[in-house]
């Protein structure tokens, strides 16, 4: 769980602790953050002064997600500065305990703290990992506040066009080398008889697919403007066509994201809103093309994308996962059952599970 801590100097930070961490471990973490020995800290929670000898867990004390702690450093009777010199031994000991609370599954929880030597390699690695995790948490918090759009889905660029005067939905992809059309779309557009099978080969992207050959020229139209284009014909493609870099460069096309349109000469095609894109088109990935291989050598390669991971994870869930991790994923808008499925697929890794859930739900 996350706890917000306010120090007497108005320095505010957020700590991530396990619900099973006890008060003594909490004092250790606060001591490290304040660079102050534990016996000089006063930790207040809901008007109650906590004692570092308390063996109860923070959950038993009554702390919940995003609760608030106030920490005061006791004044030195002799008038010396509050914090005093940094005690590296205390920092090492507290790091050993707090690292286990922050990330119980991390490698640093395996470290032995019998030798509290700052220059010990394991101690340095654990401190480095603690700092890294803290920076990641702060970076995520900043992104959620200042760049929340980064966590949404991106609508891919589709336009309405015509091939041989037949309506198609074209995926505009400047990252694809070639312009591609599906076999089904080519049949619908009545241009299958133009395929030159000498240009057949293997398309590799997410898995593999065989392309039947090339249509050297056909008419592609946007509004009243017509453009000559060539296509590679893919046998197994779930969308109509992909308008690749070869034809974008050939016709000096401009992808204008400010005006949300594709410009080719005097023709302008506005990108489709998400509601206007066929559902089957939304989860496709870029496809690269590799030529020069015989279709007889075609072998399906394992699909390592989100679909395969998702399908493989649909089994009986018997492995327990942290309830805190599950609740954090639920707060992102996913259901409990799909979260458990994703955690199984990712061997319990919360970050990978979040990426998998987002890819499965939003198609990116």
Compute how many other C-beta atoms are within 10 angstroms of the C-beta atom of residue 296.
Answer: 5
Q: From the candidates 9, 54, 67, 173, which is the catalytic residue? A: 173
In degrees, to the nearest 5, what angle opens at C-alpha 268 toward C-alphas 267 and 270?
155
DSSP state of 278: -
8 A C-beta contact, residue 211 and residue 201: yes
**Full DSSP string of 279-342:** GGGTT----EEEES--GGG--PPPP-SHHHHHHHT-S---S---HHHHHHHHTTT--HHHHHHH
173 belongs to the catalytic site: yes
133 token code pair: 């995790």
DSSP state of 62: T
Sheet of 261-264, strands arranged across: 254-256, 261-264, 267-270
In degrees, to the nearest 5, what angle opens at C-alpha 83 toward C-alphas 80 and 85?
85
d(CA 356, CA 79): 56
DSSP state of 173: -
52 token code pair: 């570092």
Burial of 356 (0-12, 13-18, 19+ CB in 10 A): buried
d(CA 49, CA 213): 77
Question: Active-site positions?
Answer: 173
């Amino acid at each position: 769980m996350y706890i917000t801590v306010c120090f007497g100097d108005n320095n505010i930070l957020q700590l991530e602790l396990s619900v099973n961490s006890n008060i003594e471990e909490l004092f250790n973490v606060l001591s490290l953050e304040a660079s102050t020995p534990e016996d000089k800290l006063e930790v207040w929670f809901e008007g109650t002064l906590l004692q570092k000898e308390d063996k109860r867990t923070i959950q038993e004390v009554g702390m919940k997600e995003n609760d608030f702690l106030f920490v005061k450093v006791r004044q030195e009777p002799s008038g010396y500065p509050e914090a005093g010199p940094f005690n590296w031994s205390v920092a090492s000991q507290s790091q050993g305990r707090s690292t286990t609370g922050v990330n119980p599954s991390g490698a640093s929880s395996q470290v032995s703290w019998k030798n509290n030597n700052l220059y010990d390699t394991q101690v340095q690695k654990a401190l480095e990992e603690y700092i890294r995790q803290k920076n990641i948490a702060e970076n995520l918090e900043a992104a959620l506040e200042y760049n929340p759009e980064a966590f949404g889905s991106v609508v891919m660029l589709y336009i309405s066009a015509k091939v041989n005067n037949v309506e198609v939905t074209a995926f505009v992809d400047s990252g694809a080398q070639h312009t591609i059309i599906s076999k089904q779309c080519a049949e619908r557009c009545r241009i299958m008889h133009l395929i030159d099978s000498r240009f057949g080969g293997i398309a590799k992207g997410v898995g593999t697919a065989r392309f039947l050959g090339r249509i050297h020229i056909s008419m592609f139209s946007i509004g009243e403007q017509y453009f000559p284009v060539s296509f590679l014909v893919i046998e197994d493609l779930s969308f109509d066509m992909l308008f690749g870099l070869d034809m974008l460069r050939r016709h000096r096309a401009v992808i204008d994201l400010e005006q949300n349109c594709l410009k080719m000469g005097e023709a302008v095609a506005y990108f489709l809103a998400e509601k206007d894109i066929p559902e089957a088109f939304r989860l496709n990935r870029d496809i690269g093309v590799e030529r020069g291989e015989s279709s007889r050598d075609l072998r399906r390669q394992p699909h390592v994308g989100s679909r395969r991971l998702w399908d493989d994870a649909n089994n009986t869930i018997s492995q327990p996962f942290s309830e805190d991790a599950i609740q954090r994923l639920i707060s992102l808008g996913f259901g409990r059952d799909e979260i458990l499925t994703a955690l199984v697929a990712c061997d319990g890794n919360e970050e990978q599970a979040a990426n998998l859930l987002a890819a499965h739900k939003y198609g990116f």
